[in-house]
Amino acid sequence: MASDENKIGISELKDCHFAKLDLGARYKSAFSNWSSREEEEEEVSKSLRHFEMNGGRKSMAELRTSVWEDEEKIKCCMRYQREDAKIQAWVNLQTAKAEEKSKKLEMKIQKMRSNLEEKLMKRMAIVHRRAEEWRAEAQMQHSLEILKAAEQARKIRTQQSLHFPDSHASCGCFTTQQ
């Protein structure tokens, strides 16, 4: 009888495996990257066939150990999934922060660029204004020099006509033959 108590029936083994499948279904979202329900059922089927081939010789303690091991594996996987989710959330946060800094920097650069362009335009306006002033001054200087030259030429002509009434001879030594 003691050996009968240690042995479990196929129905109890099926119940344990289906409980495992139910537990897996509750945490399906966490195990989406792991095995699917079909794979689990196939694994249970293989396990049941193995159990039937061994004649149901597994003891209740071995079954409990197996179930406990499976539960521990599930807990470890869940812990890993939570940690991975935390890491991914941190990465997403850091990425968002970096993108925000990048946008702020781009806006700052654009503002600096527009300020520099405005300063450059003002400077170029000043340069053009000064150039026009210098051109006007140079034009005036040029006009004055032309007027001075014309005035000097007029004075020279009047002096020559006063000193030399004959416009062909500049002095008495040279006479023109007519």
Number of H helices, E strands in the chain: 4, 0
What value, to the nearest 5°, has the Cα angle with vertex 108 and ends 106 and 111?
A: 110
pLDDT per residue as tens digits for the range 7-56: 555 666 666 666 666 655 555 544 444 556 677 677 766 666 655 555 45
Residue 108 exposure: Cα atoms within 13 Å on the Cβ side: 6
Please give the helix or strand (H or E) that residue 44 lies within, else none.
Answer: helix 37-53
* pLDDT in the model for residue 9: 59
DSSP H helices in the chain: 2-6, 10-26, 37-53, 60-163
Task: Note the pLDDT tens digit of each residue in 85-117.
Answer: 999 999 999 999 999 999 999 999 999 999 999
The pLDDT of residue 1: 44
Mean pLDDT to the nearest integer, 114-140: 97
Predicted local distance difference test score (pLDDT) of residue 30 = 47
Task: Give dist(CA 118, CA 112) in Å, integer.
Answer: 10
Amino acid sitting at position 176: T
Tokens representing 113 are 């660029």
Phi and psi torsions of 29, nearest 5°: -65, -35
pTM surpassing 0.75?
A: no
Mean residue pLDDT of the chain comes to 79
